[in-house]
Amino acid sequence: MKTDGPGLTVQSRWEGGLEKAREISSALGIRISNEERVPAGEYRIVVFEHGVELWDEFSRKHGMPLNFRSVDLRTGTGSLSHKQPIARAIGRSARTILDATAGLGHDSFLLACLGWRVHAVERHPVIFTLLKEAFLSIDGDVQISPVIEDRLQIHNQDALSWLSDPDNPDIDVVYLDPMFDAKRSSALPKKPAQILRRLVGLDDDVDQLFRSAMNHAKSRVVVKRSDHDPPLVEGPSRSYKGKIVRYDVYETRNMIDG
Ligand SMILES: C[S@@+](CC[C@H](N)C(=O)[O-])C[C@H]1O[C@@H](n2cnc3c(N)ncnc32)[C@H](O)[C@@H]1O
């Protein structure tokens, strides 16, 4: 994980957003900016009345919104179909998932909307702040709230410590989507993938996380990979292919109570 990322500031473009901008500024130790444009190579968290966006040097009136509204909430042929590869990889018998590499939370959100209880863990402070803003944006949303109910919880810590804490609930499936070799394509859409790469770098300790996941998940570990990349670890039991990604399933057989 990178600790020295690109420059980052925060700004409110709405009178009522100053308090949130100050809150983010002190949580991350970043400056509140009054400048119109974002300097080249930097990012800015911008607070609007409609929610929070992430801006880069090319943003003018709007940047990347931090919310989950791009997910198609239709069942059947929409994103909420249980026939899609990610849902088949998790499996119907699972109830609780740990998304150990939550990032901007797209996969966690989707899995929670599909009906699983999801603990989303993100260790990078900036990414966690962006995730938290997206998470807050769904609170009380009349379309999303009834779909997701209270099934998504977010945690700002390393997944290794989350997994080893005996006070945390049992987990059926651990889901992993690590940042890997930057030269290869990412499993995420272009813009969020670029942002994560620049802010986080590579997750070069993923082998340790995989081993811990295999020790703790009651039924399986699911690893998301770009379609043409080799498995993270040799020998998945099976794989489910999407258009550009693949979900490799590793059975753990740690069932305690059947
Ligand atoms: C490729 S991104 C995940 C994207 C995510 N699936 C989504 O839908 O937005 C990987 C993320 O995992 C986080 N990460 C990697 N190892 C971690 C660990 N041991 N504990 C917590 N977060 C971790 C990184 O900081 C990064 O934000």
Going from the Cα of 23 to the center of ligand 1, the distance in angstroms, rounded, reads 23
For residue 155, what are the β-bridge partners?
121
Q: Could you report the per-residue pLDDT of 176-214, keeping only the tens digit for each? A: 999 876 555 555 566 777 888 888 888 889 999 999 999
pLDDT at 75 (0 to 100): 66
Strands (E), the chain: 8-12, 31-32, 43-48, 51-55, 64-65, 96-99, 117-121, 152-155, 173-176, 220-226, 238-241, 245-251
Q: Is 242 exposed, middle or buried (0-12, 13-18, 19+ CB in 10 A)?
A: middle
Using most ligand atoms within 8 A of CB, pick from 130, 203, 210, 246 the residue to mutate for ligand 1.
Answer: 203
Q: Residue 202 has what DSSP assignment?
A: -
Residue with the smallest CA separation from ligand 1 atom 25 is 124
> Around Cβ 216, how many Cβ atoms within 10 Å?
20
236 lines ligand 1 (CB under 6 A): no
Whole-angstrom distance, CA of residue 207 vs CA of residue 33: 39
**pTM value?**
0.93
Whole-angstrom distance, CA of residue 29 vs CA of residue 209: 28
Q: Residue 92 has what DSSP assignment?
A: T
Q: Could you report the per-residue pLDDT of 130-179, keeping only the tens digit for each? A: 999 999 998 888 888 888 889 999 999 999 999 999 999 999 999 999 98
- State how far the alpha carbon of 82 is from the alpha carbons of 22, 25, 90, 200, in Å: 41, 40, 10, 31
Report, as an integer, the average pLDDT of 116-131: 96
Going from the Cα of 32 to the center of ligand 1, the distance in angstroms, rounded, reads 26
Going from the Cα of 245 to the center of ligand 1, the distance in angstroms, rounded, reads 16
Residue 222 has pLDDT above 90, yes or no: yes
> 51: left (phi > 0), else alpha (psi -120 to 50), else beta?
left
- Answer whether 228's CB lies under 8 Å from 193's CB: no
pLDDT at 258 (0 to 100): 44
**H or E stretch at 89:** helix 85-90
Give me the percent of the chain exceeding a pLDDT of 70: 92
Closest to 119 measured CA to CA, from 249, 216, 235, 246? 216
Q: Could you report the per-residue pLDDT of 8-27, keeping only the tens digit for each? A: 999 999 999 999 999 999 99
Going from the Cα of 206 to the center of ligand 1, the distance in angstroms, rounded, reads 10
Whole-angstrom distance, CA of residue 156 vs CA of residue 158: 7
pLDDT at 183 (0 to 100): 55
5 lines ligand 1 (CB under 6 A): no
Whole-angstrom distance, CA of residue 11 vs CA of residue 22: 9
223 lines ligand 1 (CB under 6 A): no
